[in-house]
Structure 1
Amino acid sequence: MGLFDFLKVKKNTANIAKDRLRIIIAQERSAFGGPDYLPLLRRELLEVIRKYVNVDVDAVKVDLVKEGDHDMLDISVSLPDRASAA
């Protein structure tokens, strides 16, 4: 034991790593503008819609819109014309 070892603060590296990871995840979520489940939700909606209508991959758009204190899910689906669907 060294002379100044009592001055060193022992850090729990696991807690430091966990805190850093939380910060990184929070920054990524804010950078993308929405929760991480939106891409999965978009793919699943596209699969369900394709059971009934032949739509393009870009036909389904899912966004998270903030209005005051509330978050709203905005889902937009571009359906093909009836002439091209037949």
Structure 2
Amino acid sequence: MFRFLRQQPRRSDSAKAAKERLQILLAHDRSDRARDDLLPLLQRDILEVVKRHMRVDSDAVEIKLQRGDDMSSLEINIEVPDAQSRQAG
């Protein structure tokens, strides 16, 4: 009977730790999904801004998000048209 009383707090502590770990994993998974959903939105918004100033094909915009341990970087490549087609029409 004394063993049961001693083990009860350990199980409770273990359950709390497992719950915290699961919450961290779920938050991390959600943030990854949010980042993946962000790229198409960024591409659309950037394309809209660029189109205000020049004619650009939708396929001419490429966006890459690279994630590292300490830092993430966003790379944007836009194929700029020649001088004759720069004015939006």
Q: TM (normalized to structure 1)? A: 0.55
C-alpha deviation, 1:35, in angstroms: 2.2
The one-letter code of the counterpart of 2:78 is V
C-alpha deviation, 1:82, in angstroms: 1.6
The one-letter code of the counterpart of 1:52 is H
Gaps in structure 2 of 5+ consecutive residues = 1-22
In 1, Cα distance between equivalents of 2:53 and 2:85: 15
Could you say which residue in structure 1 is the equivalent of 2:43? 42
Q: Give 3-state SS (helix, strand or coil) of 1:42's partner.
A: helix
Could you say which residue in structure 2 is the equivalent of 1:82? 83
Deviations 1:21-69, CA, capped at 9 Å, x for gaps? x5xxx4xx58xxx521110110011011000000001111111023452
Q: Give 3-state SS (helix, strand or coil) of 1:35's partner.
A: helix
Q: Alignment identity in percent?
A: 36
1:6-85 alignment runs, 5 A limit: 26=29, 35-85=36-86
Higher relative CO (CA 8 A, sep ≥ 6), structure 1 or 2?
2
Q: Which has the larger radius of gyration?
A: 2
Gaps in structure 1 of 5+ consecutive residues = 1-18
Q: Give 3-state SS (helix, strand or coil) of 2:48's partner.
A: helix
CA RMSD of aligned residues (A): 2.9
The one-letter code of the counterpart of 2:79 is S
Could you say which residue in structure 1 is the equivalent of 2:17? none
